[in-house]
Structure 1
Amino acid sequence: MPVTLSRRDAIWLGLTGLAAAALPGQVMATSVQDLITAFARGAVPVEGGITLTLASEAPDGFAVPVQVQAAGASHVMLLALARRSPLVATAEFGPASGPARLATRIRLAESQQVMALARRPDGIVMQVSASVQVLVAGCAG
């Protein structure tokens, strides 16, 4: 039996394929290790040189404030390690940006590790992680 597609379905299928092809490799990665490898570009991440501000206890997982600071960084990546989609945010900073600082709120369904990585223009990658205990889940994952 032949498969028939409506014009609308064919357009959505084509647009989905184009979007998947246009996305950077780190967004298409499925695991935490794949994300770190793509971000580090062959460098081995070192501890330190980056500050992750995150409360150790979050009474509400719907909006957990988090802040990353990394002096001299050109790129920052934020990961929530227990999420189905661990990539929370990435940011790129130019020479006129000043100190690299990323502040946001993330939704967490459970207590977990949050990791931040920063890449400097010279290729050095720094990482830091912190645990957060979520008292009331903010989502299903």
Structure 2
Amino acid sequence: MKKLLIALLLTLMSSSLLLAQSSTEQEVTKLSMEKWQWMADKDVAKLEKLFDDKAKFVHMSGSWKKDRELEIIESGSIWYKKADVHDTAVEISGNTAIVWNRITLTAFVRGADVVTEFTVTEVYQKQGENWKMHALTFSSVRDTHEIEH
């Protein structure tokens, strides 16, 4: 029931964001929102397909590649429990999409829940029919931070 409510909330949030976007921007925004849920669910099978083999991930505690990120998610050493997305901006250039999400992330790290404000930058590239994530960077920000559209 809880997962259903979270999925419904994400759907409603992403629906309001999609109204002012192009179809490509809508597609990438939807994928970004789904990614947050897959991370919360520790669904490494879906994430493995989304993350490009050369993808890089930058966190507060370090940076690493795809295999390490998937291992961290699967093991729960960082459990991305909930990402409250407050704002999203998307820019498309050719077959590349850049997504900025301002979020409040609740994560289970080193034995405790931690709540942190981030602007997360995601870089996607269209490969055939699918988008692949090439980069994900967490930037710690104040809760008053705004993404310029």
TM-score of the aligned structures, taking structure 2 as reference length: 0.31
Tell me which structure has the larger Cα radius of gyration: 1
Q: Choose between structure 1 and 2 for higher RCO, CA contacts under 8 A separated by at least 6 residues.
A: 1
